[in-house]
């Protein structure tokens, strides 16, 4: 595998944006390009992630090209997935040897539509979507299954929330943050029992951009390139009724294949939109109880749909670049109850 | 009527409702056809798989191996709750509007959970993992998961009422209507353009360096993604650089057929935009013809492209193709 | 490319206006299972899956590939979902090629699909946000003005579009998968068909179809072990440009010209007119055949129409184009790009049935999308490079 490094990262997150997607994305992409040290036209490949349903327009990603510039014509692709999978496609493209660098971006607004209803469109269209369950409810079913067998406790979930929102105070991009004691959290009413409001994701609007560069060129561009040492993603079956909801086999497999434990991890950034899912991911991906997870605050602090996975990777990379750790696991997940999971291992020089 | 400077100074973008609505109808294939036909008859059908036992709803394939499945078995109708979520505040889209549970129900004879609703009259204390439930059937069933209104505690369940008129044909498709409502934001640049239309002005933005004028403003020069903060008013007269005559109907288009869709290059701009041409015989439409916007009456002007009702021909000589060939 | 890559299996569904007999998973499995059978492989032999389709609004689903994952044997495997507008069928295959040429995987299933009958393409493509007025009547409404510009620029005879449609509709009669089968079609019938988007006639337009197309892609040492001949990937390219900018040439877009140039460079093609035996390209409206012939360098600018009139692009011509009947005969939008690749692949494998071009050694597959702004192309060879 070729050595590939994350050389720059930028993000914008807000609870609710009145700007258009192009207006949100343009400064973020410009910042990532500027901080990469490469000129826009020097970047060999571009790949993005988005979903048409968030703005209710087919080909939403076509207009987004206006925000990154595509003249002269660019080598470009797009996934209708979280930007973390766009990063994967870009990384694969560099592995072919055809390109040396890539701009990866993603964007999404959860505020314009009824996001609960929009997200119900990802379920079995014949037998499940017609009943209009929201992801909060499906995740609550998963949480209860976990509570029943004791792989999580309500207190442990509250501890995840308390720690995440406290850590988020240091994250300027977090839209939900604060100091909440575990006891206080456990007193709060249920949103969808057994989940309370703060166990659920902080849905937000925003955009994310990242530049990755291969080999020696990355070393020239930054003092401390953050290397992608392993990269993998896997998927589980969609029907919740056929899955053991207390397990996430695809997360375990992705972390193994990415080589998460070939060496000691200093911290992890995982996409856990619901508090119990962090606990499940810790178990599946073999993260020790005392390992720092989501120092950014994670999805409980900012859940920018289509960007949240790429944000976790970028947050982890920037933390390593700042010298706050040498080796991290970053994870992206999407689909109901984390059906699809991606793991990337990052290392500082 | 506002000046461009006044329009640009108004930072708050416009917002408006956007609705996506369609009566999707899905062909269901041989396996789901069995399931839905069963539901219409008041029966629950599963399929036997090698790796996951009896699947309900039945799938056409094994979830682990993808091998095809055809060994159907009747299951339930009663079963037990494997896990559930208590919905204390139902959302408008949901089918029960009092508190209820979404639950995975493992039907007797099945090995997987069916996702459905459990109705215990809004009393969460009646819910528990492992509780026995059975379907509350609709009297008039069409072959849909909605033929079961909800599962209820087994003791309260009644057998499915007989089908009123037994159709001969198996269920071949299922209706899944969709209606999504969005609070659309036009964005800052677009809002400047739209507000100008309400003042009978057409506003464009200069590309960085100022050599080209974009109408409508796009926020950036799409070539380079550099911002275009410099706004300029352009003429409401222009040249037809290309066109088509549309004779095909479309749900979302409200012009009478046939209509002429033109790419019009407004004087002072460098990019054509789409609109319609009226007050012109179809046989008279031609490349290079000069046209002008026909504005709505002052009281009907809105912050919308609808403020330009259409374009119409004006008495000016045609522009030679050579002069606009770069723009079409 | 680092690792050599070949297509070793192809599977397509029957295309039709409404595949009322199958579910969405059933539609995809029909193509995927045929591709596995063609390569004499099983689900277990596949390392990863790359799915492509055009807007999810056609089916009213978000992330449809997640729901479809286990239908395609993806459980426990990597699954990517590509969407690059109408070019997606081509770019999806290109991503699958990258997964092989990078050395990451040995065998990849790639599949592209659309089940347009779940809704209505004209509805989905004319959704307009507030403050705007819907005036562009779907894809035809967008592309008809470009066709008019091409006619004006080139001075092409007015019946060029009719001749292309007649050729492709006749070719489709040799392709059992093709949606439109018009055994008695005549020049006059096409000429007299209704003007939908003047200057585009009804019979010069593509249908709206349900369908899926799948390919199995493998690395070099596995490609040699297949029962049928592999098609070697000699090159693949993608280019995008903005949908609109001042003075953009949307009739002969730079992105298309650059993608073709890149492709020929990768494959060591000095003269595409001499070295490429047949072309399957994305022609949703018949006039796009001459336009793309120019963009891809098979004719000088303004002269692409001559290839239609002199019979070069006919099935028995010097350089046939759209042997399968093309998009004009079957258009499941998301699948259409991969169908082009699949036909090009089968030509060099000698597996194209009645529409086989004798002795085809090098073929080109082409797809485009958006406002003629996204391009995906690949070159396939009968012989290992």
Same domain, B226 and B278: yes
Residues 119-138 (B) with a CB less than 8 A from some CB of A: 124, 129
State how far the alpha carbon of B36 is from the alpha carbons of B46, B56, B141, B172, in Å: 11, 12, 10, 8
The pLDDT tens digits for C6-36 are 999 999 999 999 999 999 999 999 999 999 9
Q: Pick from B283, B19, B23, B45: which is nearest to A57 by CA?
A: B19
The pLDDT tens digits for A178-188 are 999 999 999 99
Per-residue confidence at C184, pLDDT binned at 50, 70, 90?
very high
Q: Which residues of C touch A233 (CB under 8 A)?
A: 78-79
The pLDDT tens digits for C269-325 are 999 999 999 999 999 999 999 999 999 999 999 999 999 999 999 999 999 999 999
Say if the Cβ atoms of B225 and A23 lie within 8 Å: no
DSSP string, A283-328: HHTT--TTSEE-TT-HHHH-EETTTHHHHHHHHHHHHHHTTS-SEE
Q: Which of B114, B145, B171 is the last residue of a domain?
A: B171
Contact call for residues C366 and C375 (beta carbons, < 8 A): yes
Q: Which residue of A has its CA nearest to C61?
A: A121
Integer Cα distance of C102 and C111 in angstroms: 19
Integer Cα distance of A241 and B81 in angstroms: 11
Neighbours of chain B (3+ CB pairs under 8 A): A, C
For each of the domains in chain C, give its residue range(s) and CATH number, in order of start: 5-121+208-223 (3.40.47.10)
Starting at the edge strand that comes first in sequence, how are the strands of the sheet with B213-214 ordered? Answer: B213-214, B202-206, B231-234
Residues 86-125 (B) with a CB less than 8 A from some CB of A: 86-88, 91, 93-95, 102-104, 106, 112-117, 124
Asked if the C-beta of A63 comes within 8 angstroms of chain C's C-beta atoms, the answer is yes
Residues 6-35 (A) with a CB less than 8 A from some CB of C: none
Same domain, B39 and B165: yes
Same domain, B44 and B162: yes
Q: Which residue of C has its CA nearest to B301?
A: C131
Per-residue confidence at C2, pLDDT binned at 50, 70, 90?
confident
Asked if the C-beta of A335 comes within 8 angstroms of chain C's C-beta atoms, the answer is yes
Contact call for residues A43 and A211 (beta carbons, < 8 A): yes
Integer Cα distance of A40 and A211 in angstroms: 10
Say if the Cβ atoms of C62 and A51 lie within 8 Å: yes
Residue B252: which of C20, C73, C123 has the nearest Cβ?
A: C123
Integer Cα distance of B30 and B144 in angstroms: 15
CA distance B315 to chain C (A): 23
* Cβ neighbour number for residue B235 with a 10 Å cutoff: 12
Integer Cα distance of B47 and A49 in angstroms: 37
CA distance A339 to chain C (A): 8
**Lowest-confidence pick of A51-55, B249-253, C284-288, C373-377:** B249-253
More confident of the two residues B10 and A71? A71
The pLDDT tens digits for A212-225 are 999 999 999 999 99
CA distance C93 to chain B (A): 22
Domain count across chain B: 2
- The pLDDT mean for chain C works out to 96
Q: Residue B27 pLDDT more than 70?
A: yes
| pLDDT computed for residue B165 by the predictor | 65
Q: Residue A20 pLDDT more than 50?
A: yes
Residue B179 maps to a domain: no
Q: Residue C57 pLDDT more than 80?
A: yes
B203: helix, strand or coil: strand
Same domain, B201 and B153: no
Same domain, B112 and B209: no
Contact call for residues C65 and C81 (beta carbons, < 8 A): yes
Asked if the C-beta of A233 comes within 8 angstroms of chain C's C-beta atoms, the answer is yes
Q: Which residues of C touch A249 (CB under 8 A)?
A: 76
Same domain, B98 and B158: yes
Size of interface B-C (CB pairs under 8 A): 196
CA distance A26 to chain B (A): 7
Q: Which residues of C touch A77 (CB under 8 A)?
A: 82, 84, 91, 94-95, 238
Q: Which residue of A has its CA nearest to C3?
A: A96
Q: Which of B146, B171, B196 is the last residue of a domain?
A: B171
Say if the Cβ atoms of B84 and A69 lie within 8 Å: no
Say if the Cβ atoms of C84 and A78 lie within 8 Å: yes
A164: helix, strand or coil: helix
Per-residue confidence at B166, pLDDT binned at 50, 70, 90?
low
Cis before A194? omega within 30: yes
Q: Which residues of C touch A66 (CB under 8 A)?
A: 242
Q: Which residues of B touch A131 (CB under 8 A)?
A: 94-95, 102, 115-117, 145-146
CA distance A265 to chain B (A): 32
Asked if the C-beta of B13 comes within 8 angstroms of chain A's C-beta atoms, the answer is yes
State how far the alpha carbon of B33 is from the alpha carbons of A86, B148, B151, B171, in Å: 37, 16, 22, 5
Q: Which residues of A touch C235 (CB under 8 A)?
A: none
Q: Residue C217 pLDDT more than 70?
A: yes
Same domain, B192 and B150: no
The pLDDT tens digits for C80-104 are 999 999 999 999 999 999 999 999 9
Contact call for residues C212 and C27 (beta carbons, < 8 A): yes
Say if the Cβ atoms of A193 and B88 lie within 8 Å: yes
Say if the Cβ atoms of C244 and B194 lie within 8 Å: no
Size of interface A-B (CB pairs under 8 A): 192
Q: Residue B1 pLDDT more than 80?
A: no
Task: Write down the domain spans for chain A.
Answer: 4-114+203-226, 116-198+228-348
Supply the CATH classification number for the domain A116-198+228-348. 3.40.47.10
Asked if the C-beta of C243 comes within 8 angstroms of chain B's C-beta atoms, the answer is yes
DSSP at B170: P
Q: Which residue of A has its CA nearest to C127?
A: A57
Q: Pick from C273, C105, C139, A195: which is nearest to B88 by CA?
A: A195
CA distance A22 to chain B (A): 7
Residue B27: which of C19, C137, C247 has the nearest Cβ?
A: C19
Q: Which residues of A touch C237 (CB under 8 A)?
A: 75
| pLDDT computed for residue B302 by the predictor | 94
Residue B17: which of C24, C130, C194 has the nearest Cβ?
A: C130
| Nearest 10 degrees: Cα torsion B223, B228, B230, B232 | 60
| pLDDT computed for residue B162 by the predictor | 83
**Lowest-confidence pick of A338-342, B218-222, C108-112, C312-316:** B218-222
Q: Which residues of B touch C42 (CB under 8 A)?
A: none
Q: Residue C228 pLDDT more than 60?
A: yes
A130: helix, strand or coil: helix
State how far the alpha carbon of C116 is from the alpha carbons of B228, C190, C332, C333, in Å: 39, 25, 7, 8
Q: Which domain holds residue B79?
A: 29-171
Asked if the C-beta of B1 comes within 8 angstroms of chain A's C-beta atoms, the answer is no
Residue B252: which of C23, C128, C244 has the nearest Cβ?
A: C128
The pLDDT tens digits for C60-71 are 999 999 999 999
* Mean per-residue pLDDT, B19-25: 93
Q: Which residues of C touch A88 (CB under 8 A)?
A: 80
The pLDDT tens digits for C329-372 are 999 999 999 999 999 999 999 999 999 999 999 999 999 999 99
Neighbours of chain C (3+ CB pairs under 8 A): A, B
Looking at domain A4-114+203-226, its CATH architecture is: 3-Layer(aba) Sandwich (3.40)
Residue B223: which of C134, C149, C245 has the nearest Cβ?
A: C245
Q: Residue A274 pLDDT more than 60?
A: yes
Residue C63: which of A46, A249, A335 has the nearest Cβ?
A: A335
Q: Which residue of A has its CA nearest to B129?
A: A148
Q: Residue B210 pLDDT more than 90?
A: no
Q: Which residue of B has its CA nearest to C25?
A: B60
Residue B251: which of C123, C131, C199 has the nearest Cβ?
A: C123
Say if the Cβ atoms of A73 and C241 lie within 8 Å: yes
| pLDDT computed for residue B7 by the predictor | 83
Per-residue confidence at C1, pLDDT binned at 50, 70, 90?
very low
Per-residue confidence at C120, pLDDT binned at 50, 70, 90?
confident
């Amino acid at each position: 595998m070729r050595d590939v490094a994350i050389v720059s990262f930028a993000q914008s997150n807000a609870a609710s944006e009145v700007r258009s997607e192009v207006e949100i994305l343009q400064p973020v992409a410009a910042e990532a390009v500027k901080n990469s040290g490469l000129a826009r036209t020097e970047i060999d490949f571009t790949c993005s992630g988005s979903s048409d349903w968030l703005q209710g327009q087919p080909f939403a990603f076509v207009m987004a090209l206006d925000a990154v510039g595509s003249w002269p014509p660019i080598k470009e692709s797009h996934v209708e997935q979280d930007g973390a999978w766009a990063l994967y496609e870009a990384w694969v493209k560099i592995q072919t040897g055809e390109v040396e660098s890539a701009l990866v971006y993603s964007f999404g607004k959860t505020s314009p539509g009824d996001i609960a209803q929009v997200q119900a469109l990802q379920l079995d269209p014949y037998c499940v979507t017609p009943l209009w369950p929201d992801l909060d409810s499906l995740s609550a079913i998963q949480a209860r299954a976990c509570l029943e067998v004791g792989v999580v406790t309500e207190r442990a979930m509250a501890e995840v929330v308390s720690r995440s929102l406290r850590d988020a105070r240091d994250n300027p991009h977090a839209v939900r943050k604060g100091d909440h004691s575990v006891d206080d959290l456990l007193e709060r009413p249920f949103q969808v029992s057994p989940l309370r409001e703060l166990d659920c994701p902080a849905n937000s609007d925003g955009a994310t951009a990242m530049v990755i560069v291969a080999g020696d060129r990355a070393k020239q561009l930054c003092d401390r390139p953050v290397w992608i040492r392993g990269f993998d993603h896997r998927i589980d079956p969609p029907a919740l009724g056929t899955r053991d909801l207390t397990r996430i086999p695809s997360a375990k497999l992705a972390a193994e294949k990415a080589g998460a434990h070939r060496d000691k991890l200093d911290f992890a950034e995982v996409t856990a939109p619901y508090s119990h899912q962090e606990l499940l991911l810790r178990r599946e991906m073999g993260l020790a109880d005392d390992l720092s997870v989501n120092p950014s605050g994670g999805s409980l602090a900012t859940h920018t749909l289509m960007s949240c996975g790429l944000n976790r990777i970028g947050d982890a990379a920037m933390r390593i670049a700042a010298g706050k750790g040498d080796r991290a696991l970053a994870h992206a997940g999407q689909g109901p109850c984390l059906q699809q999971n991606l793991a990337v291992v990052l290392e500082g020089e | 009527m506002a000046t461009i400077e006044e329009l640009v100074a108004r930072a708050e973008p416009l917002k408006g409702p956007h609705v996506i609505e369609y009566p999707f109808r899905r062909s269901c294939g041989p396996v789901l056809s069995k399931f839905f036909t069963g539901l219409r008859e008041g029966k629950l059908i599963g399929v036997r798989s090698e790796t996951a036992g009896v699947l309900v709803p039945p799938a056409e394939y094994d979830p682990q191996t993808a091998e095809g499945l055809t060994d159907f078995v009747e299951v339930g109708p009663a079963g037990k709750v494997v896990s559930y979520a208590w919905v204390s505040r139902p959302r408008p889209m949901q089918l029960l509007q009092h508190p209820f549970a979404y639950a995975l129900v493992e039907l007797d004879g099945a090995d997987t959970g069916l996702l459905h609703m459990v109705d215990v009259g809004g009393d969460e204390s009646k819910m528990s993992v492992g509780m026995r439930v059975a379907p509350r059937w609709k009297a008039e069933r069409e072959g849909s998961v909605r033929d079961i209104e909800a599962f209820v505690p087994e003791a309260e369940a009644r057998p499915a009422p007989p089908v009123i008129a037994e159709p001969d044909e198996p269920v071949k498709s299922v209706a899944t209507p969709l209606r999504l409502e969005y609070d659309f934001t036009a964005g800052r640049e677009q809002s400047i353009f739209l507000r100008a239309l309400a003042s009978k002005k057409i506003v464009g933005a200069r590309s960085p360096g100022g050599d080209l004028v974009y109408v409508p403003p796009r926020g950036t020069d799409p070539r380079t993604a550099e911002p275009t903060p410099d706004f300029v008013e352009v003429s409401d007269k222009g040249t037809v650089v290309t066109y088509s005559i549309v004779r095909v109907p479309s749900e979302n288009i409200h012009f009478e057929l046939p209509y002429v869709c033109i790419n019009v290059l407004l004087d002072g701009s460098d990019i054509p935009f789409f609109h319609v041409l009226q007050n012109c015989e179809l046989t008279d439409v031609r490349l290079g013809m000069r046209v002008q916007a026909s504005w709505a009456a002052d009281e009907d002007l809105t912050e919308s492209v609808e403020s330009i009702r259409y374009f119409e021909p004006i008495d000016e000589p045609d522009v030679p193709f050579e002069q606009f060939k770069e723009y079409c | 490319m680092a690792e050599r890559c070949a297509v070793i299996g192809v599977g397509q569904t029957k295309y039709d206006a409404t595949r009322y007999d199958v579910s969405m998973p059933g539609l995809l499995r029909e193509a995927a299972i045929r591709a596995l059978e063609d390569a004499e492989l099983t689900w277990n032999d596949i390392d990863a899956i790359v799915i492509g389709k055009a807007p999810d609004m056609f089916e009213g689903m978000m992330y449809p590939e997640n729901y479809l994952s286990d239908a395609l044997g993806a459980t426990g495997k990597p699954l990517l979902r590509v969407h690059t507008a109408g070019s997606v069928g081509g770019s999806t295959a290109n991503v699958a090629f990258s997964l092989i040429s990078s050395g990451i995987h040995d065998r990849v299933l790639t599949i592209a699909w659309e089940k347009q009958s779940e809704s209505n393409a004209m509805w989905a493509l004319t959704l307009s946000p507030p403050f705007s007025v819907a005036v562009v009547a779907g894809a035809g409404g967008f592309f008809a003005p470009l066709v008019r510009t091409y006619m004006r620029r080139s001075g092409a005879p007015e019946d060029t579009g009719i001749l292309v449609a007649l050729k492709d509709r006749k070719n489709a009669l040799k392709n059992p998968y093709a949606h439109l089968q018009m055994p008695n079609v005549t020049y006059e019938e096409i000429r007299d068909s209704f003007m939908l988007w003047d200057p585009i006639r009804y019979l010069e337009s593509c249908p709206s179809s349900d369908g899926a197309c799948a390919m199995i892609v493998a690395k070099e040492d596995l490609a040699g072990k297949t029962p049928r001949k592999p098609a070697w990937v000699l090159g693949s390219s993608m280019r995008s440009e903005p949908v609109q900018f001042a003075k953009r040439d949307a009739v002969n877009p730079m992105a298309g010209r650059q993608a073709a140039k890149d492709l020929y460079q990768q494959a060591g093609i000095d003269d595409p007119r001499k070295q490429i035996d047949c072309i399957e390209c994305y022609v949703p409206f018949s006039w796009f055949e001459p336009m793309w012939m120019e963009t891809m360098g098979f004719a000088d600018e303004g002269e692409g129409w001559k290839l239609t009139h002199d019979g070069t692009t006919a099935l028995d011509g010097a350089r046939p184009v759209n042997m399968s009947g093309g998009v004009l005969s079957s258009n499941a939008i998301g699948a259409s790009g991969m169908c082009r690749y699949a036909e090009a692949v089968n030509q060099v494998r000698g597996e194209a049935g009645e529409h086989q071009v004798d002795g085809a050694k090098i073929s080109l597959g082409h797809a485009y999308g958006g406002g003629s702004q996204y391009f995906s192309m690949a070159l396939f060879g009968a012989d290992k490079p």
